[in-house]
Chains A and B, each alone.
Chain A
């Protein structure tokens, strides 16, 4: 079901990006619920927004992968559809973006809570190749179409 004409991307790119994001989320957690942590979390949320807008290969983590990491790895023939990792970026944006917004409203505990949730998701992606957002996609579809007869 690959959409005709869509060129696949190197599947190792999004996993590398998730690893970089996970490291930044560890930094957020170690900084704690203050302004510095909120600032780093905001940067992460902005990166996810970039990934939603341009696809995961259009983020700075994607650029980092292509310019620094990919040239040192053996080329791969495996290609993946860019839509799943892009959807995962949206899930990341929702989690971290909610954290930033709630913290901006004065609930500073939202920073570590959102960072911990996002760290679990990013870690699963980086270490196991599990895309939590993709796993949850069908459940979301089922909820959205509840009561609709097809």
Chain B
């Protein structure tokens, strides 16, 4: 390896840092709605064990009358701490919003059922428990409010 090639390898690694980092930051906390067809099907099957719906029993807290944030976290996850603080503060401020934080180690069933790949992932539920959208990565208050607005429309 000539010195020129070595310097190029360093530059390539630093370029990868910038590209990956910017993409990661833009994606964090962004609200992604569930496809309308999936939502409609989940809402139309109220009684049989529904795949795309969660019940208060399954998550261990009552559902919010507007939205419930189901946060899947792991112990090795600093953004999870910050996201939990933001969402629980929001749930405290608003009587119609509920928040629960679950550990992925305990809830691998939900991880697989909803194909969760990273922590934190926040599933957004409507008042019937239908999963209407999700966010992953660190969620700030603006993200959470945007999710509330977007998902009610």
Contacts and interface: CB of A to CB of B under 8 A. Distances in A.
A142 B111 contact: yes
Q: How large is the interface on B (under 10, 10 to 19, 20 to 34, 35 or more residues)?
A: 35 or more
A32 B3 CA distance: 8
B20 A120 contact: yes
20 contacts: A1-B75, A29-B6, A30-B7, A80-B78, A84-B77, A85-B78, A124-B20, A127-B17, A127-B21, A133-B76, A134-B79, A137-B74, A137-B76, A138-B104, A138-B117, A139-B117, A139-B118, A141-B108, A142-B112, A150-B108
Contacts of B96: none
A83 B103 CA distance: 15
The DSSP consensus for interface residues of chain B is: helix
Interface string A94-129: 000000000000000000100010011001100110
B151 interface: no
Interface of B: 1, 3, 6-7, 9-10, 12-14, 16-18, 20-21, 24-25, 73-81, 84, 101, 103-105, 107-109, 111-112, 116-119
Q: How large is the interface on A (under 10, 10 to 19, 20 to 34, 35 or more residues)?
A: 35 or more
Contacts of B116: 138
